[in-house]
Every structure is written in structure tokens, then in C-alpha cells.
Copies of this chain bind each other. A is one copy, B any other.
């Protein structure tokens, strides 16, 4: 099976759409990658997307590659879940395919394929670092909404893998917000202790940051329709304040939850990561 299914030159570098078999999910997974000009090895960031997204949303819509090219930064964008007829699903947009929540499910029917934590932190990293000229060791991770939750929790759970973490409009405390409660209940069961290991605010309260990240960067639109019910960035700010973790929370008047918001500020995030990965 060919790894690369489509390839496009972009800002002197290239975008490749890829597929590979993952042991973690037991399925064929898809991701896209932007490689900047030059031979590499390139430092890189992983972008985790939000509900309903695939490996294409950020790549097509964030307008990130002009800046990534200038910074010499590669960007890896995995799909948000395992896919296919044989994979469990739910009719709603916020559970199942397209909504893997970047964690390892332990409950049926999800546990069989929904292993997105292990997929990202083991299979994806191994695959991209084997197949492309990437600089391993110190990676950046960022994401949006459900993917902001993913970036924060994976970085806090596995700080040895990541040098920097940032997020756009993240679900900062899924234990205390409806999308998160629904997903945690389905994927790992109603165990509030276990939930803390998948909740960025709780992880920081429980000491997971441990001085590993000099700073966490979060951009949040003030006109985001999910701000008060699903995202609640103040819960992250409170946890960081309590734990002595520096947080740069940038509240952006007028901006919503869309890729128009992400596109406006993505260059700042890429620069933030480039500075820390090097």
C-alpha cells in the first residue's frame, strides 16, 4: 500500500495526504503532512482537529503553511478517529467517528478501535519520523476545540514527548462540560477519578505540568458560541494559577469558533512552537 495518496507543492514545500495501518486502532488511518522547503530534518508540530474534522480541514483551511514554510516547520495532521463500516459509530456528531477525543477508550464498543492517544503518541509519531525527514525528540502539539483538549491532555500526560503545547478554543475541562461528559462516559465509563487523567484543568491541578512547559498558549474567541457551555477557558486559567503554570490566554473580541478565527492567529502559534522546539 502506498503511504502517500496525494501530494501538492505548497509554499516551496509540499503537502502529502497519507494512509497507514495502525496497530493501536487496528484500522487504516489517514493523516496529512506539510514539509517545508529543504532536506531537513525539520522540527515539527502535530495539529489535532475538532469534532467532525478529518486530516483535511486544517490543511485546506488554516492558511498555516506560508508561516510554517518561513519557519522551516513541518506540520502533521491526523484524522480525528478511526473510520470505516467495521468501526463503531454513533449517529450524533460528537461521539464515534470524527469524535475520538484523543484518548484510549476502555468501554465497548469503542475500546476496539478508538485508541487515539496511543495512535498519536506511538503509531503516528513512529510513522512520520520513519517516513519523512523530521526531527524527533522535541515536538510541538496544538489543536482546536476537541483537538485543543487533545493537545493539552496529551502534552500533560506525556510531557517527555512534547516541547511545547498550545490550543485554539480548547475544551479545557471535559469532566465539567457536556461534550466532554458525554464522550468520557461513553469511552471510559462514569469514573470521575479516571476522568481527571483526560481533563487538562484537572491534570494541571494534579501536578501534571510539573514545570515541563515554560508557558501554555491559548487563543479563544469571545464570540465563540461554545465558549460558556463547552469550553470554559477560565477553568484552565484557575488551574494554572493554582499550580503556578504560566498560561498566555488570549481572549479575542469578535472571533468565533471557525477556521477564520484559527487562520487569523495560527502564525502566532507556529512561531510559539518554533521557538520552543529548537
Chain A interfacial positions (CB closer than 8 Å to B): 8-12, 15, 60-61, 63, 65-66, 221, 223, 254-256, 258-261, 263-264, 267
Q: Chain B nearest CB: distance from A98 CB in Å?
A: 18
Q: Residue A11 contacts which of B10, B61, B258, B264 (CB distance < 8 angstroms)? A: B264
A60 contacts which chain B residues (CB < 8 A)? 60-61, 259
Say whether A260 contacts B9, CB under 8 Å. Answer: yes
Q: Chain B nearest CB: distance from A61 CB in Å?
A: 5
Query: In the bound complex, what is the Cα–Cα distance between A10 and B61 (angstroms)?
Result: 13
Say whether B261 contacts A9, CB under 8 Å. Answer: yes
A258 contacts which chain B residues (CB < 8 A)? 8
A63 contacts which chain B residues (CB < 8 A)? 63, 65-66, 263
Query: In the bound complex, what is the Cα–Cα distance between A10 and B255 (angstroms)?
Result: 7
Say whether A261 contacts B8, CB under 8 Å. Answer: yes
A221 contacts which chain B residues (CB < 8 A)? 9
A254 contacts which chain B residues (CB < 8 A)? 9
